[in-house]
Structure 1
Amino acid sequence: MSAVDDERWLVVDGRRWRRTDPSLPEDLRAALTSHLGRARSAVGAAGRRHDDDAVAAARRRVGLAKHGLGERGPRWWDRPEAERLADARRALDELDALAPPDAPASPR
């Protein structure tokens, strides 16, 4: 891979994953990453409970967080920075409404 590719992609076990948008301010990136971790945890907890609706809701949160981070959706390097930041902030606002940061963890 080229130096540019190294900034855009992470390769793990031969599989290529899109990196987080490097232009995101640290506080925004950290908030979205926190939501991503909590949503992934919620997917597992809901799966163990065999709660398909909760799994779907948690997967939606995972998708929102990954879109906000630039890891899904349109390639971040093809879009203007202001547009990417606005989308990331909208994703965070939606995630905060769905699962406030101070909300208790899902029961396991």
Structure 2
Amino acid sequence: MNQATSFKRISITESKQLQDDSNAVMADIRDPQSYENGHIPDSVHITNDNLAEFIANADKERPLVVVCYHGNSSQQAAQFFAGEGFNDVYSMDGGFEAWKLQYPVA
């Protein structure tokens, strides 16, 4: 697989390590109410309203970890971001629901 047009699935632990070690962008694609009720610290909430702006202003060399509820929708979104020129894209298996069982949330 060509990394420039695909993504990798990674675990909650690997996602946290990428955030801590590589300053990865944690992109939360859940609905606004869910994001308001709790999210990964320092995550970016991406909606249809700010998607174009996010893509235009993002550092596409920085690792991007896409987060949804359970790790399903994030796979399609990660594939989309890979197609938009992001070089290092991940879908977090288990999603926010798994993250909050293991790590603090904001």
Do these two structures clear the TM 0.5 threshold for a shared fold by scoring above it? no
- Greater strand proportion: 2
Larger of the two Rg values belongs to structure: 1
Scaled to the shorter chain, the TM-score interval is under 0.3
Q: What TM-score, normalized to structure 1?
A: 0.23
Q: What TM-score, normalized to structure 2?
A: 0.24
- Greater helix proportion: 1
